[in-house]
Amino acid sequence: ETGVTQTPRHLVMGMTNKKSLKCEQHLGHNAMYWYKQSAKKPLELMFVYNFKEQTENNSVPSRFSPECPNSSHLFLHLHTLQPEDSALYLCASSPTSGRDQETQYFGPGTRLLVL
Amino acid sequence: TQLLEQSPQFLSIQEGENLTVYCNSSSVFSSLQWYRQEPGEGPVLLVTVVTGGEVKKLKRLTFQFGDARKDSSLHITAAQPGDTGLYLCAGARDYKLSFGAGTTVTVRA
């Protein structure tokens, strides 16, 4: 248990569906991240939020829409996805001060399959 | 071009043997993390190394950060089946992590 939870753990959706991924962290961190992990590729950073403000969008297609209502919650809204978007989506959080601020703690991920 | 290169990509050994995984880059990092990831789960942090030349031990795992803070290694002594997993290194610069592609380690009983 890393203190970061993600729901759902598995999701199957059609290309015309709209769904949302949820992440919650109980570590008191102020930075949250979305990553995409595809088979045989390094983790790809998608979005970064610091104190609820988006500070990084790593050229992610607009069919992925993040939302961060507070420092503990992060959402990823999905619509009109493509089969190549199938992957493990990971949420992470980190502190924004102190010697541990470069260390990220990950949730268990949501395994997404787009049909 | 990948910022961090991990080698080997795959490693299969017998229980009780030792193994070393390498993480190399031409870039300098302010810190470097090692994670282990099991199938269907997220990466779990093993260690963070910060100082060039630093060596950290975690039971049978030994982590070393290169003097120039560009590379790192993970050594496992007397590997056990429970050490099986995907080992990821991640270098930090400007509070962002760049990940290697990972080394898949299989320890056979």
Model confidence over A55-75: pLDDT tens digits? 989 899 999 999 999 999 999
Residue A69, preceding bond cis, omega within 30 degrees?
A: no
Nearest to A103 among B45, B96, B99 (CB): B45
Q: Which residues of B touch A101 (CB under 8 A)?
A: 95
Model confidence over A34-63: pLDDT tens digits? 999 998 788 999 999 999 899 989 899 999
- B89 contacts B34 by C-beta, under 8 angstroms: yes
- The whole-angstrom separation of Cα B85 and Cα B103 is 8
Q: What is the model's pLDDT at position A4?
A: 97
* A103 with B33: Cβ contact below 8 A: yes
B86 and chain A: CB distance < 8 Å anywhere?
A: no
Q: Of all residues in chain B, what percent carry a pLDDT higher than 70?
A: 98
* A90 with B48: Cβ contact below 8 A: no
Q: Which residues of B touch A90 (CB under 8 A)?
A: 42-43
